[in-house]
Structure 1
């Protein structure tokens, strides 16, 4: 009992160990074998060097060239210039608004061109194949701009069990991650106690624990037993956060990040289950037909990849 109480008092334990590799040295085959397929987080350097955004996307650039761009963050409307001013002045005690999950497709075409082509370390990405994207895009490239002290609002894994690729352009972020086997300690929304809460059932990838640093030790006592990783992401680096890995982040210095979701052989099974259960819920197409189609697509793309 005393050990359990000590765990609650001390909170989760974190390792700072995460592999880092230069993209030109690790290569695609080893990357897929050692990290993608076993669902192991890794940081890749050098994969963004071809992007114009690497040199161009500064805070001054956004303010001067796109200062009039209209944004909305948590219900507040402001211009890009106003956001940049607040981001630069942000402090942990008074953090600036955090622009997050902002679709790149909503940005001017010139900005979209600055992050093309997509980094090779985000592929293979089966969501980009016409068998998945013919009717509507399934990949979401998103922009994040925030200042010192801002935090992502939830501990989560990416919806539909997609992989997350987080590409750092400016600034430094601290990430916290928990492997899927730590789920019993993370108080997932949509558990048995919430079976009558429809919204909770639709968000099984979100933890009830909002503040990792100041959590309710009475309500979330098991969280003290969790074991995770804690590390920083720097400009020019790409973080591969695998399917099902819980994660959140806080900003250490004014930051610009781009992310994209992905699916391949490593997470196709879990993606297919979530896609049928959540994405297709309430639609006219029979679930059995969706499952059959996804089974066909998975086998076909796996076969093509092996050729």
Structure 2
């Protein structure tokens, strides 16, 4: 059995900080290394996307993109109308999400410079083959309307850290620290997804969820929330909203990521274990290489 890296729960966190003009050194020391969530209020002040990525912009320029949600296919043009008219009583289906690299690669330059949740950008490191991240989406746009909420509590795929920036409108986040995992009732087929509807919980079926205590915070337009892997989370929307999610890799979750890739490949190719072993060895080796590189890099 492959050992899984344990992430110690943060100590006595009762709220999520909002920080302005924080340096990378402060970010690493105060939040990344101790695995504490944080909201950065102005880390994207140079992004062209802020003020540009509006519902009208996407309807005009990318209205042809389509997405199936709960068995119904919508174009982005149709969805923008739904999200603008969305109410808690009649919410637009959520999420309408697209892979930026696949559908709008020309817009990636508008979400620069990158926010680095570590000493280097391991997600885009030249030694990490892109196919290693096929089980997730590196840059993902989310569209939603008032009353919408993410359909399930979850920990992100491959134990990746999470970065979400509000490009238009705000979004409310509900985060549950890793020590509350015993209350989450994961699905049998995917232990990173809870069976619980966090906004309409069935306490008879899931009684331990009564003990779960989320940290709640609203991330406003132009703000970015960063939080480490193993934090269970979901979101709720109270106004038309466009956000971009970006996965993050660093030394803190490299072991979990490597082990999860190994387990995933064994599940996908049960009769060919030799396919997974080289990936495990390769990731362990390049992880050490990155550690050495980061040791000599300036923060």
State the TM-score, normalized to the length of structure 1.
0.84
> RMSD of aligned C-alpha atoms?
2.1
SS of the residue 2:26 aligns to: helix
Shift of 1:63: 2.0
Residue 207 of structure 1 is matched in structure 2 by: 194
Which stretch has the larger CA shift, 248-257 or 138-147? 138-147
1:159 to 140, 157, 160: 157
Q: Deviations over 1:181-237 (max 9, x none)?
A: 1001111122xxxxxxxxx1xx11011102x23211111111111222111111111
Contact 1:161 1:270 in 2 (8 A): yes
Deviation at 1:164, TM superposition (A): 0.8
Contact 1:35–1:41 (8 Å) recurs in 2 = yes
Q: Which runs of 5+ in 1 are unaligned?
A: 1-14, 191-199
Residue 258 of structure 2 corresponds to which residue in structure 1?
A: 272
Partner of 2:8: none
Q: 1:216 to 1:72 in 2, by over 3 A?
A: closer
More helix by share: 1
Tell me the CA shift for residue 134 of structure 1.
5.6
- SS for the counterpart of 1:127 is coil
**1:213 partner SS:** coil
Counterpart in the other structure of 1:301: 290
Q: Do structure 1's residue 189 and structure 2's residue 175 form an aligned pair? A: no
1:12 alignment partner in structure 2: none
Q: Distance in 1 between matches of 2:130 and 2:206?
A: 43
Q: Deviations over 1:19-51 (max 9, x none)?
A: 1112xx321112112111221110012111222
Deviation of the 1:18 alpha carbon: 0.7
* Alignment partner of 1:105 is 2:105: no
Does residue 217 of structure 1 match 2:227? no
Q: Does 1:245 align with 2:241?
A: no
Q: Which moved more, 1:112-121 or 1:241-250?
A: 112-121
Correspondence 1:63-142 to 2 at 5 A: 63-120=59-116, 124-133=120-129, 140-142=138-140
Counterpart in the other structure of 1:180: 178
Match of 2:4 in 1: none
Instruction: Tell me the SS of whatever aligns to 1:281.
Output: helix
Q: In structure 1, what is the equivalent of residue 37 of structure 2?
A: 41
- Cα distance in 1, alignment partners of residues 172 and 228 from structure 2: 17
- Structure-2 residue corresponding to 1:292: 281
Separation of aligned partners in 2, 1:111 and 1:288:
37
Contact 1:35-1:42 at 8 Å conserved across structures? yes
Three-state SS of the structure 2 residue aligned to 1:132 is: coil
SS at match of 1:30: helix
SS in 2 for 1:49: coil
CA distance in 1, matches of 2:123, 2:116: 15
Q: Is the 8 A contact 2:117 2:248 kept in 1?
A: no
Shift of 1:120: 4.2
Name the CA distance, whole Å, in 1 between partners of 2:84 and 2:292: 49
Structure 2 vs 1, CA of residues 237 and 123 (structure 1 numbering), >3 Å: closer, same or farther?
farther
Aligned 8 A contact 2:47 2:111 in 1? yes
**Cα distance change, pair 271–100 in 1 and its aligned pair in 2 (3 A):** farther
- TM-score where L is the length of structure 2: 0.86
Q: Mark the CA change 1:222 to 1:231 in structure 2 (over 3 Å): closer, same or farther.
A: same
